[in-house]
C-alpha cells in the first residue's frame, strides 16, 4: 500500500485514510479534548502522510509512524492555541479586544460508558494538566489501548521509560483529583 | 459530583469505545490537500503582485539595463584602441624608414 502511494496511486491513499482515520482521530481527540480540533489535526496528519510518504522507510510499522505524526501535530496544535489565548488575553488587558474570554466546557469523550461520564470528564480535565510526555504515554495507553512496548516504539524510548512516565502520570493525576474533590466538597 | 476516590476515577476510561470522525472524512482530506496545493500558488502570486516586490523588480530590471548599457559603451571604446596602436606603429615605421633614408643621404 505504501509503495503504491509512493508511486502516486490515489486509491492507495484512500485506503490508508479509511483504514487509519479512527485511530488518528481518536488519538488526537484524547490529547486535544475537542472534536473540532481532533478533526482539524486528523486532516493535517493525512495531508502530511500524502506529502511525506517518500520519507517513510518502513523501519517501523505504518501505525507507529502515524501515531508519531498525530502526537506531534496534536502537541503543536495545543501550543498554537495557547499562544493565541495569551495574545487574546494581552489584547483584552489593553482593551483592544472586547471579546469575553470563556473557559471551554468539560470535555465528554463520546466513547465513555454513560455511568462513567462525570468521572471521565474530571479525569480528562486532569490529563490536560500533565506534562507533554506523560500525557502522550497516558493517552496512548488508556485511550488507544497500546501496551508499553508499542508506546515505547511510538515515543522512541525504552519500555522502562514508558513505565516510569505512566507511573508519574498516575501519581500526578491522583494528586490533582484528590485536590479537586477536596475543593469541591469544601 | 459524588465523592469518589481517585483510583476509581482513574479507572473511568475502562471500556472506552474509540471515537471516529464524521462521514465523508476522506473527501474533507482531499479538499484540504487541494486547498494546501492552491494555497502555495496563491501565496506566490500574492507575493509577486505586492507593490513593494513589483517596484523592487522594476528597479532591478532598470539597474541591469543601465549596467548593460554602460558595459557596452566601455567595451566599444576599448575596441577602438587597437586601431590607434596600429596607426602609431605605422607612424613609427614611417619615421624609422625616413631616418634610414636620411642616414643614407647623409652618407652620400
Under a CB-based contact definition with an 8 Å cutoff, are residues A41 and A77 in contact?
Answer: yes
Determine contact: A177 vs chain B, CB below 8 A: yes
**Cα(B25)–Cα(B70) distance, rounded to whole angstroms?**
62
Whole-model pTM above 0.80?
no
The answer on A132 and A66 residing in a single domain is: no
Under a CB-based contact definition with an 8 Å cutoff, are residues A141 and A122 in contact?
Answer: no
Chain A hits for B3, CB-CB cut-off 8 Å, are: 181, 185
Chain B hits for A74, CB-CB cut-off 8 Å, are: none
pLDDT band at B1 (very low <50, low <70, confident <90, very high): very low
Residue in A closest to B17 by C-alpha: A111
**Among the listed ranges A11-15, A62-66, A91-95, B95-99, which one has the minimum average pLDDT value?**
B95-99
The answer on A185 and A112 residing in a single domain is: yes
Q: Which of A1-5, A60-64, A179-183, B68-72 has the highest mean pLDDT?
A: A60-64
* Backbone Cα Rg of chain B: 44
Q: Which of A26, A170, A184 sits opposite B18 (nearest CB)?
A: A26
**What ipTM does the predicted assembly reach?**
0.83
Measure B17 CA to nearest chain A CA, in Å. 4
Cβ separation of A112 and B6 shorter than 8 Å?
A: no
Residue A152 has pLDDT above 90, yes or no: yes
Considering chain A, what percentage of its residues have pLDDT values greater than 70? 94
**All cell numbers assigned to A27:** 488519538
- Identify the pLDDT of residue B83: 58
Under a CB-based contact definition with an 8 Å cutoff, are residues B54 and B48 in contact?
Answer: yes
Under a CB-based contact definition with an 8 Å cutoff, are residues A168 and B1 in contact?
Answer: no
Q: Which of A14, A111, A119 sits opposite B17 (nearest CB)?
A: A111
Say if B24 falls within a structural domain: no
- Identify the pLDDT of residue A103: 65
Helix axis angle, A35-52 relative to A62-93, nearest 10°? 130
**Cα(B20)–Cα(A26) distance, rounded to whole angstroms?**
6
- Identify the pLDDT of residue A2: 77
The distance from CA A104 to its chain's CA centroid, rounded to whole angstroms, is 17
**Number of helical H runs and strand E runs in chain A:** 8, 0
Residue A97 has pLDDT above 70, yes or no: no
With vertex at residue A173, the alpha carbon angle to CA A169 and CA A177, rounded to the nearest 5 degrees, is: 180
What DSSP string runs through B4-51? --HHHHHTTTTTPPPP-PPS-HHHHHHHHHHHHHHHHHHHHHHHHTSH
Cβ separation of A116 and B29 shorter than 8 Å?
A: no
The answer on A181 and A114 residing in a single domain is: yes
Q: Which of B7, B12, B29 sits opposite A46 (nearest CB)?
A: B29
**DSSP summary character for residue A114:** G
Determine contact: B12 vs chain A, CB below 8 A: yes
Say if A92 falls within a structural domain: no
Domain count, chain B: 1
Cβ separation of B16 and A112 shorter than 8 Å?
A: yes
Would you say the C-alpha torsion A41, A47, A49, A55 has a positive or negative sign? negative
Under a CB-based contact definition with an 8 Å cutoff, are residues A11 and A124 in contact?
Answer: no
The answer for residues whose C-beta is within 8 angstroms of residue B7's C-beta and 6 or more apart is: A174
With vertex at residue B60, the alpha carbon angle to CA B54 and CA B66, rounded to the nearest 5 degrees, is: 140
HSE-CB at A4 with a 13 A cutoff on CA atoms is: 9
What kind and span of H or E run contains A133? helix A132-142
The answer on A109 and A39 residing in a single domain is: no
**Cα(B60)–Cα(B64) distance, rounded to whole angstroms?**
6
The answer on A128 and A59 residing in a single domain is: no
Under a CB-based contact definition with an 8 Å cutoff, are residues A85 and A93 in contact?
Answer: no
B2, B3, B8, B9: best mutation site toward chain A, by most A Cβ within 10 Å?
B9
- Identify the pLDDT of residue A175: 92
Determine contact: A50 vs chain B, CB below 8 A: yes
**All cell numbers assigned to B25:** 472524512
Listed residue (A112, A33, A23, A74) closest to B25, CA to CA: A23
Which of 80-119 (A) contact B at CB < 8 A? 109-113, 116, 118-119
**Structural domain that includes position A62:** 1-77
Say if B3 falls within a structural domain: no
Domain count, chain A: 2
Measure A77 CA to nearest chain B CA, in Å. 17
Say if A89 falls within a structural domain: no
pLDDT tens per residue, range B48-101: 777 788 889 999 999 999 999 988 888 887 776 555 555 555 665 555 555 555
The answer on A4 and A63 residing in a single domain is: yes
Amino acid at each position: 500500500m505504501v509503495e503504491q502511494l509512493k508511486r502516486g496511486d490515489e486509491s492507495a491513499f484512500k485506503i490508508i485514510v479509511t483504514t487509519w482515520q479512527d485511530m488518528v482521530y481518536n488519538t488526537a481527540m484524547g490529547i486535544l479534548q475537542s472534536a473540532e480540533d481532533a478533526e482539524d489535526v486528523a486532516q493535517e496528519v493525512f495531508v502530511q502522510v500524502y506529502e511525506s510518504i517518500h520519507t517513510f522507510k518502513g523501519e517501523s510499522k505504518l501505525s507507529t509512524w502515524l501515531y508519531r505524526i498525530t502526537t506531534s501535530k496534536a502537541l503543536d496544535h495545543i501550543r498554537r492555541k495557547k499562544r493565541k489565548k495569551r495574545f487574546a488575553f494581552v489584547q483584552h488587558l489593553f482593551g483592544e479586544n472586547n471579546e469575553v474570554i470563556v473557559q471551554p466546557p468539560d470535555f465528554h469523550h463520546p466513547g465513555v460508558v454513560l455511568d462513567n461520564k462525570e468521572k471521565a470528564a474530571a479525569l480528562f480535565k486532569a490529563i490536560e494538566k500533565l506534562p507533554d510526555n506523560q500525557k502522550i504515554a497516558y493517552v496512548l495507553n488508556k485511550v488507544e489501548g497500546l501496551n508499553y512496548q508499542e508506546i515505547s516504539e511510538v515515543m522512541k524510548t525504552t519500555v522502562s521509560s514508558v513505565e516510569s512516565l505512566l507511573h508519574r502520570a498516575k501519581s500526578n493525576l491522583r494528586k490533582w483529583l484528590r485536590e479537586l474533590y477536596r475543593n469541591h466538597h469544601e | 459530583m459524588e465523592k469518589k476516590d481517585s483510583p476509581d476515577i482513574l479507572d473511568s476510561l475502562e471500556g472506552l469505545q474509540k471515537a471516529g470522525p464524521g462521514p465523508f472524512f476522506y473527501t474533507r482530506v482531499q479538499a484540504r490537500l487541494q486547498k494546501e496545493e492552491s494555497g502555495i500558488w496563491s501565496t506566490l502570486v500574492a507575493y509577486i503582485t505586492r507593490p513593494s516586490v513589483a517596484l523592487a523588480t522594476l528597479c532591478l530590471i532598470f539597474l541591469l539595463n543601465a549596467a548593460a548599457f554602460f558595459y557596452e559603451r566601455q567595451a566599444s571604446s576599448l575596441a577602438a584602441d587597437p586601431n590607434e596602436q596600429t596607426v602609431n606603429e605605422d607612424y613609427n615605421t614611417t619615421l624609422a624608414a625616413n631616418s634610414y633614408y636620411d642616414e643614407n643621404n647623409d652618407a652620400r
